[in-house]
């Protein structure tokens, strides 16, 4: 947990001038800006497929594949997000500016990974797998809200021309 000296005060900018320069210069900012909406679109399609399966019992394979694709997309955005955070803040995870977002991202990652493990081992029946996917998706929505809030804060602090900040896990 970050100490009080590590935690950025609410009235202090999210980025120092040097961090802002690195953020603006790295191609990982664009990568995150592209992956975030792609992941959200994959999430929406998968959510519909999972809910359809739970409501009707139809489309099990499509729902299962969609959750796997969503999880792989999550892994891609997590790995590239860690690289982005290293370039901008000098550490792969838990930079003070994104500490709580990263903590919650670990829960999102754990739930999605639990889905893959249960699928691979047969540890859960299909309905339970889909309910686990919904739990992972609920955590993802909360985490997305955290990052959207940070994006809004960064734009208010730095002007409307700021590129996206670290993308949603």
| pLDDT tens per residue across span 109-136 | 999 999 999 999 999 999 999 999 999 9
Half-sphere exposure of 116 (CA within 13 A, CB side): 13
Rounded distance, CA 142 to CA 65, Å?
A: 23
Asked whether residue 130 is assigned to any structural domain, the reply reads yes
Asked whether residue 73 is assigned to any structural domain, the reply reads yes
| Structural domain containing residue 134 | 26-158
Asked whether residue 98 is assigned to any structural domain, the reply reads yes
Q: Is residue 50 within 8 Å of residue 130, measured between CB atoms?
A: yes
* Residue % of the chain over a pLDDT of 90: 74
Domain count, the chain: 1
pLDDT digits over 20-41, tens only? 999 999 999 999 999 999 999 9
Mean pLDDT, the chain, integer: 88
Q: Is residue 33 within 8 Å of residue 164, measured between CB atoms?
A: yes
**pTM score of the predicted model:** 0.82
Asked whether residue 50 is assigned to any structural domain, the reply reads yes
Rounded distance, CA 153 to CA 159, Å?
A: 10
Asked whether residue 129 is assigned to any structural domain, the reply reads yes
Asked whether residue 126 is assigned to any structural domain, the reply reads yes
Mean pLDDT of 141-156: 86
């Amino acid at each position: 947990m970050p100490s009080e000296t590590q935690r950025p005060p609410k009235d202090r900018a999210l980025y120092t001038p040097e961090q802002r320069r690195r953020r603006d210069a790295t191609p990982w900012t664009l990568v995150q800006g592209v992956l975030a909406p792609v992941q959200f679109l994959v999430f929406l399609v998968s959510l519909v497929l999972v809910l359809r399966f739970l409501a009707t019992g139809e489309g099990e394979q499509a729902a299962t594949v969609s959750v796997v694709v969503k999880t792989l997309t999550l892994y891609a955005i997590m790995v590239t997000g860690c690289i982005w955070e290293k370039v901008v803040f000098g550490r792969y995870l838990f930079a003070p500016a994104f500490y709580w977002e990263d903590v919650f991202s670990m829960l999102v990652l754990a739930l999605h990974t639990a889905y893959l493990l249960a699928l691979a081992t047969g540890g859960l029946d299909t309905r339970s797998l889909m309910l686990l996917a919904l739990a992972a998706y609920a955590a993802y929505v909360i985490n997305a809200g955290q990052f959207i809030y940070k994006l809004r804060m960064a734009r208010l602090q730095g002007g409307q021309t700021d590129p996206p900040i670290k993308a949603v896990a």
